[in-house]
A and B are shown apart, each in its own frame.
Chain A
Amino acid sequence: MNRSRRLKLRIFRIVVLLLMGAFFLLPIGAMLEFSTRGNSVISPRTLDAWVLIAQTPGLVKGIVTSLQLAVITSLGMLVLLLPTMVWVRLRLPQISRIVEFICLLPLTVPAIALVVGLKPLYIWININVTPSVLALSFAYLILVLPYSYRSLDAGLAAIDLKTLSEAARSLGAGWITVMWRIVIPNMPSAILNAGLLSVALVLGEYTVASLLNFQNLQVEVAYVGLTNAPTSTAVAVGALVLAFVLLMVLTLVGGRLQQQNYIPGQRA
């Protein structure tokens, strides 16, 4: 690439990144500003709103609930999806397209539309299984399917599943051992990725929870926001920043893990 073109590209990049950066950071900054305002225009910045988070039982409950839901959903997703995908890959490749279609189906059904059908179902669940809010994870698992599927699929494609499992089985390993000691250790970043995407989705979910009359984090934030906007805003921006940090950590760790799992001879 010659010099003038390189220069033009550099200018373009700087301009775009600056403008976009401003556009995106502005509301975040505004949230921070809003949540740290004093009582009147001239009073100093304060963290009162933030402190209030811990003192608002609804918010605390919401945070705990959503965290629990996140963990349950991620684990449930892994337990349900990964063995199925491995099995399909190894034993039933013909139906892999069907499985893929099913996993991407939730993308075509808007949550708001799905919830219309989920309501009667959850009325039944409320009475016959459990009224706990954690029943939400059933629905959440469906919602995270597309993203987890894509992530795990990429991870499975990158390792030579067939060879590895056959080698392990020929050495006498049972299926559980294969999953636990062969498959999972060899795709750490994909699993981590799928897990984190699930967590992010669950933490940010509002539609299904609110319309099914459950109180998760986002529902609480919206509710509290009606009366105490600064505190709600504090929670919102806190959660956003937390999720961002988590994803950043994932990219760093994932890159390092990927290097450790480099299989010689399997160069791209």
Chain B
Amino acid sequence: MGSETARGHAGVEVRMEQLSRRYGPVVALNELTLTMAPGELVALLGPSGCGKTTALRLVAGLEEANSGRVVFGGKDVTGLPASKRDVGMVFQAYSLFPHMTALQNVAFGLTLRRKTADERRRRAGEMLELVGLSGFADRYASQLSGGQQQRVALARALAIEPTVLLLDEPLSALDAKVRSRLRDEIRRVQLDVGITTLFVTHDQEEALAIADRVGVMQSGHLEQLGPPTEIYARPATPFVAEFVGLTNRLPGEVKFGMVEVRGTQLPLVQPNVPTGPAIALVRPEAVSLSTDGAMSNGPLVGTVIAVAFLGATSRVTVDLGDLTVIAQMPTSTAASTPAGTRVRLDLRNDPVLIAREEKASGDA
């Protein structure tokens, strides 16, 4: 529907340079540096308290950084308050003004910019159509579902043709079904408009599904930044490996630059891990089951105790006596090893990460 220029300028580069924010003794954000290419959607992913929302709010101008710069397309906006930064923001909840209709909400930014009534109506109508809510212009927030409210919020943010689009966990307050549908909507709109977007979430599935690049954060700094496939398949740190997707923690021993896990030698991702006992992080997809060959009590022989059907794939839980291992495979393959089957585990020869400390694995 129209070219990019009809809907706003093409994306702008957004740079965060050494952004830091402290609250008293607590360091919420520790020298974050991140460059977003024009039109790119970057997702900041991490558990609560990791600093992702702080980073977003610093970019928005809703909070002031203790140090560092925020640059939009070459222009330093660090000193500017939110109202002068030309950003579009979607909040997690209570986004809409309850006393205004959807149309009035969307047109609000235009009202502030003193556009004529005709212009406001036209543009707001365009935006509502963009998010698929043309017929809902006269509804109030209380008459809209959660998903619809967020779509109106998105339309409102985009109506003013902002430089950057910022989304603060926009889907977290919604039902699961609505969530997956709406996240694809958001991505579609974002690509259509071509706006540089920062998307904050604690849901790794969300981040991996829609982002061009994902930045995994913990305790105020960026652990890894890269395309979703890379984050998933080649986690750079144990935190990333455990936060994104499932991981098996297998005790083993590091020697001669490899880690030996229950009889199998596996290469290492990080070459300079100290020798000695360690916990290897193995993805479920890297574990396969075989029912032939030596079934005697080897270190990798155990019994299937559960099979979780997830649709195209299935997750098989195997009890090795002193340890439980999860394997993930196509459902057809899993069918041959129902609960109770005696199996032997094969670990694929992928490089593995070593967990840093003996802590409980954090789940996404």
Contact = CB atoms under 8 A, between A and B. Distances in A.
Interface of A: 1-3
A2 B64 CA distance: 6
Interface of B: 62-64, 81
A1 B57 CA distance: 10
The dominant DSSP class at the A interface is loop
B85 to A, nearest CB: 12
6 contacts: A1-B62, A1-B63, A2-B63, A2-B64, A2-B81, A3-B64
Contacts of B64: 2-3
A97 B351 CA distance: 67
A2 B81 CA distance: 8
Contacts of A2: 63-64, 81
Contacts of B62: 1
A3 B62 CA distance: 11
B5 to A, nearest CB: 34
Contacts of A3: 64
Q: Lowest 5 CB-CB distances: which A-B pairs, in order? A: A2-B64, A2-B81, A3-B64, A1-B63, A1-B62
A17 to B, nearest CB: 24
Contacts of A1: 62-63
A3 B81 CA distance: 11
A3 to B, nearest CB: 7
A3 B64 CA distance: 8
A237 B62 CA distance: 48
A9 to B, nearest CB: 15
Nearest to A3: B64
Nearest to A4: B81
Nearest to A5: B81
A3 B79 CA distance: 12
A203 to B, nearest CB: 40
A2 to B, nearest CB: 6
A7 to B, nearest CB: 13
A1 B62 CA distance: 6
A91 B81 CA distance: 55
A1 B61 CA distance: 9
A47 B364 CA distance: 68
A2 B62 CA distance: 7
A1 B64 CA distance: 8
A141 to B, nearest CB: 37
Nearest to B61: A2
Contacts of B63: 1-2
B62 to A, nearest CB: 8
A153 B81 CA distance: 44
A1 B63 CA distance: 6
